[in-house]
Structure 1
């Protein structure tokens, strides 16, 4: 199964990379519109969201929207030693610098860790999703471990429509995503229905 996952990862990285920049921006804009129309998002007090990296769905406009609504923005800080994500409040993009894997994280002096139980929603990236809530990320399991530590938070995956596949190979430790939002649709994972 590991080989199958690695092959799917490589295939999806290439597929995502082939989406032209202007089209990625347009698709990200539609995903943003879909997200901000969710009642759960507007009712939340604290949302964890990644800062987009490379060709991922862009999140900066969403982060600015959350700030404008006085919703706390929390971003993941990678801890490679134990392969964990620790959430930290973010007040400004000026607080960011490249961290683990080149992903933007708060500068050391701007890290403000939060209690995991205070996170209402987690917006999660992925290389691919399926309609049963299957998700494949970059392969280190950071988010799967994080979901175990945040059982009360609602998890929403965001992806370009091109990132939907028929079936993600799932292992016992892989966590399913109940709601996936693309530029074309809202997907309530069949696994949870």
Structure 2
């Protein structure tokens, strides 16, 4: 069993390195254009329209941009929350943000919820979580950055619909997984939304 776990870890590390190298080649024009298409697909999706509380994320420079989606979600009168990383490695909460002033520069120079005015939300109250990743396969298996934040958080949000945000170019046939990995229900891409149950819209 130990050898199997080690083998999965090594496979993931190699796949992560290869796909991050590929993702980092995208220029800003590509990222913004594809992110706009992704956003339009989300706005038209019934699960998004019906959700009252949505967990999004603040994107790294080479990830799909969530800024327009966050602003649109506010305009729709919905509650927006994003990850707040605790001091304990690998553990996060969902923190409500009301506007861009709710964010400050944090680790890795990324915007994070202001820790002096933190409004943590019960994960059970989240209707929809948009989950970032380095890659997904068509079964919804996720390859993250390796710290396990979402794998630990998602089981606490048992009522939430999970949709992975991913470029179609970052899709792979199969991602090695174990019992701790949490697949998503849908995939949000620039061309369409895919159900991971059936591999189609």
**TM-score for the superposition, normalised by structure 2:** 0.91
Name the CA distance, whole Å, in 2 between partners of 1:10 and 1:192.
26
| Structure 1 runs not aligned, ≥5 long | none
Q: Which residue number in structure 1 is paired with residue 115 of structure 2?
A: 108
- Which deviates more, 96-105 or 69-78? 96-105
Offset of residue 110 of structure 1: 2.6
Partner of 2:91: 84
Which segment is superposed worse, 38-47 or 124-133? 38-47
- Number of the residue aligned with 2:3: none
Query: What's the secondary structure of 1:86's corresponding residue?
Result: strand
Q: 1:100 to 1:80 in 2, by over 3 A?
A: farther
Tell me whether 1:146 sits opposite 2:153 in the alignment: yes
Match of 2:51 in 1: 44
Is it true that 1:27 corresponds to 2:17 in the alignment? no
CA contact (8 A) 2:125 2:157 kept: no
- Mapped pair 1:182 → 2:189: yes
Paired with 1:140 and 1:102, the residues of 2 have a C-alpha distance of 18
- CA deviation map 1:74-113 (0-9, x unaligned): 1110114152110111011122123344432111223101
* Native 8 Å contact 1:120 1:153 kept in 2: yes
Contact 1:120–1:152 under 8 Å retained in 2: yes
Alignment partner of 2:120: what SS? Answer: coil
* Alpha carbons 2:125, 2:159 under 8 Å: kept: no
CA distance in 1, matches of 2:198, 2:109: 34
Q: TM-score, normalised by structure 1?
A: 0.94
Distance 1:98 1:146 in 2: 23
Give the total of aligned pairs.
Answer: 193
Equivalence map 1:51-90=2 (5 Å): 51-90=58-97
Deviates more, 1:144-153 or 1:58-67: 144-153
- Equivalent residue, structure 2, for 1:137: 144
Candidates 119, 135, 153, aligned match of 2:126: 119
Deviation at 1:71, TM superposition (A): 0.3
Q: CA deviation at 1:192?
A: 9.1
Change in Cα spacing, 1:172 to 1:80, as seen in structure 2 (3 Å) is farther
